[in-house]
Amino acid sequence: MAKIIINQEKVKNPEELMNLCPFNAIDYVNEYLEINAACKMCNICIKEGPEGVFELVEDTVKQVDKDAWKGIAVYVDHVEGNIHPVTFELIGKAKEMAEKINHPVTCVFMGHNIKEKATELLHYGVDRVFIYDDKELEDFRIEPYTAAFEDFIASEKPTIVLVGGTTVGRSLAPRVAARFRTGLTADCIILDVQENTDLDQIRPAFGGNIMAHIYTPNHRPQFATVRYKIFSAPERAENSTGEIEMRSIDKDKLKSNIEVIEIKKKEKVENLEDAEVIIVAGRAIKKEEDLGMIHELADLLGAQVATTRPLIEAGWSDPRKQIGLSGRTVKPKLIIVCGVSGAVQFIAGMSNSDCIIAINTDKNASIFNVAHYGIIADIYQVLPSFIEKLKILKESSVDSELLKLVEANV
């Protein structure tokens, strides 16, 4: 990092020098000029002040031996050995990046009685799966899982570590990153790797108004978390390749101050992320009762209903049905977006959908920039017509033509 220092012996008119800064970042305290926390590093004081008074000094940056870190590691997110799909998506991305730098792809799998489940990972092109199988790791508890993860990284030294942006991943990744005093970029939507193994991490920032490009050239490993449905999972191969390696860790490191007394499983609900067809209701819905036509269309297409933030804030929909940066990320085969303008925050949560159909009265709406098909019209005119035609097809028992009809009408 850089900082501005003041050569006090060259200061002659302190009050005049204080006025140089437009941010009032120069104070005069006890007959000394000081730079305070308001400094924006604009360097105006250096450019316009007397020569030699203000000086920019770069801190010495400790260089990391990048050759000592090799491989891209994926944390295996699971519940009772059942692997979360985000893991396979991260494996696909890891393989893509590993080809560029000729590095292996590894997985770290922690739990109890999980070896059989771990073999499934080898069908996706993973070079090695490292398993920590202990009774203490049967249920997720942050202390033992962090200890096992730390042990893996310390011994294998992967240059990049990818973790799913799940409840567990969001808790585990920052703790492990802190152990190695390295950076972590959360909720990445684009990942790439440079020839020198630096990880390009891109994520929305400032409420989705900009895309921040983040990299950590002087620290290893490089951590990133990614939400489910951001990347595509690779095809499962019939033949498995790679190796499984059992790892052990000192039992004392697996001690926890948390005791699992009882586990109550949540009632299963339809996950928006798993839907193949989604109908989205946006701000153009005039009143809560009008959501009836959205639900009717969804029923005819076997779809789930999602909404944008304004409808959530109005109390018209369940927050779990929100799409966007502050909601869910989806990747359905078909998504019909009804009366949504297309804010960056919303688009970031659905732009990877296979087929996007947008209905909006504003021909300049941002949603049309990502839509595959656009209908410039009022949803109160379009949707009733769709619904009637779908009902006719339903009565005619030609359900297989439903999706074709939707595309044919645009």
Residue 50, SS3 per DSSP: coil
Domain count, the chain: 3
Question: pLDDT by residue (tens digit) across 287-316?
Answer: 999 999 999 999 999 999 999 999 999 999
- Verify that 354 and 403 share a domain, yes or no: yes
Distance CA 336, CA 298 (A): 10
Residue 340 within a domain: yes
The values of phi and psi at residue 359, to 5°, are: -120, 120
245-259 average pLDDT score: 93
What is the C-alpha separation between 329 and 348, in angstroms, rounded? 8
Question: Domain residues for 375?
Answer: 272-408
Strand partners, 328: 323
Give me the half-sphere count of Cα atoms (radius 13 Å) on the Cβ side of residue 245: 15
Distance CA 72, CA 104 (A): 6
Distance of CA 84 to the CA centre of its chain: 15
Q: Is 202 in contact with 189 (CB distance < 8 Å)?
A: yes
Supply the CATH number for residue 156's domain: 3.40.50.620
229 pLDDT exceeds 60? Answer: yes
Share of the chain above pLDDT 70, in %: 96
For residue 320, what are its two tokens? 């779990």
Which of 196, 228, 254 corresponds to the end of one domain? 254
pLDDT over 50 (residue 257): yes
Average pLDDT (384-403) is 74
The residues with which 184 forms a beta bridge, in sequence order, are 223
309 and 244 housed in the same domain: no
Shared-domain flag, residues 70 and 54:
no
163 CB burial (10 A radius; 0-12, 13-18, 19+): buried
d(CA 276, CA 256): 41
- In this prediction, residue 326 carries a pLDDT of 81
Residue 261 lies in a domain: no
Of 254, 287, 319, which residue sits at a domain end? 254
Structure tokens at 113: 């009685």
Whether residue 260 contacts residue 278, with contact meaning beta carbons closer than 8 Å, is answered with no
Q: Following DSSP, what letter does each residue of 267-303 receive, concatenated? A: PP---GGG-SEEEEE-TT--SGGGHHHHHHHHHHHT-
Return the structure tokens found at 189: 């939507």
Query: Does some domain include residue 265?
Result: no
Q: Domain with 30 in it: what CATH number? A: 3.30.70.20
Shared domain check, 276 and 239 = no
Residue 227 and residue 334 in one domain: no
Q: Is residue 266 part of a domain?
A: no
**pLDDT tens-digit readout, 114-137:** 999 999 999 999 999 999 999 999
Based on the fold, state whether residues 158 and 297 are members of the same structural domain.
no
Residues 107 and 129 sit within 8 Å (Cβ to Cβ): yes
pLDDT at 60: 72
Residues 138 and 174 both lie in one domain: yes
Amino acid letter at 12?
K
The answer on 38 and 93 residing in a single domain is no
Q: Which of 58, 77, 105 is the last residue of a domain?
A: 58
pLDDT band for 222, please (50, 70, 90 cuts). very high
150-161 per-position pLDDT tens digit = 999 999 999 999
Give the pLDDT band (50/70/90) at residue 405: low
Burial of 317 (0-12, 13-18, 19+ CB in 10 A): buried
Whether residues 82 and 223 share a domain: the answer is yes
Whether residue 304 sits in one domain with residue 380: yes
Tokens of 356: 């996007």
Amino acid 410: pLDDT: 46
**Pair 360, 314 in one domain:** yes
In a domain, 318, yes or no: yes
Residue 138 shares a structural domain with residue 222: yes
SS3 state at 328: strand
pLDDT at 401 over 70: no
Token duo for residue 402: 């439903």
> Mean pLDDT: which of 207-211, 256-260, 369-373, 394-398 is highest?
369-373
| 37 domain residue, yes or no | yes
Q: Residue 241: what pLDDT?
A: 87
The pLDDT mean for the chain works out to: 91
* Residue 331 included in any domain: yes
Q: Does residue 260 lie in a domain region?
A: no
Calculate the alpha carbon distances from 12 to 8, 16, 29, 274 in Å.
Answer: 9, 9, 15, 69
CA–CA gap between residue 74 and residue 232 (Å, rounded)? 15
**Is the whole model's pTM more than 0.85, yes or no?**
no
pLDDT digits (tens, 9 = 90+) for 329-366: 999 999 999 999 998 889 988 998 999 999 999 999 99
What would the two tokens of residue 187 be? 């909720």
What per-residue confidence (pLDDT) applies to 163?
98
Q: What is the dihedral of CA 302, 308, 310, 315, to 10 degrees?
A: 40
DSSP one-letter code for 252 = G
**CATH at residue 363:** 3.40.50.1220
φ, ψ for residue 343, nearest 5 deg: -65, 155
SS3 218: coil
CA dist 21 to 1, 28, 53, 215, 382, Å? Answer: 21, 13, 14, 31, 58
**Alpha carbon 249 to chain centroid distance?**
30
CB 350 within 8 A of CB 357: no
C-alpha to C-alpha distance for 314 and 350, rounded to whole angstroms: 22
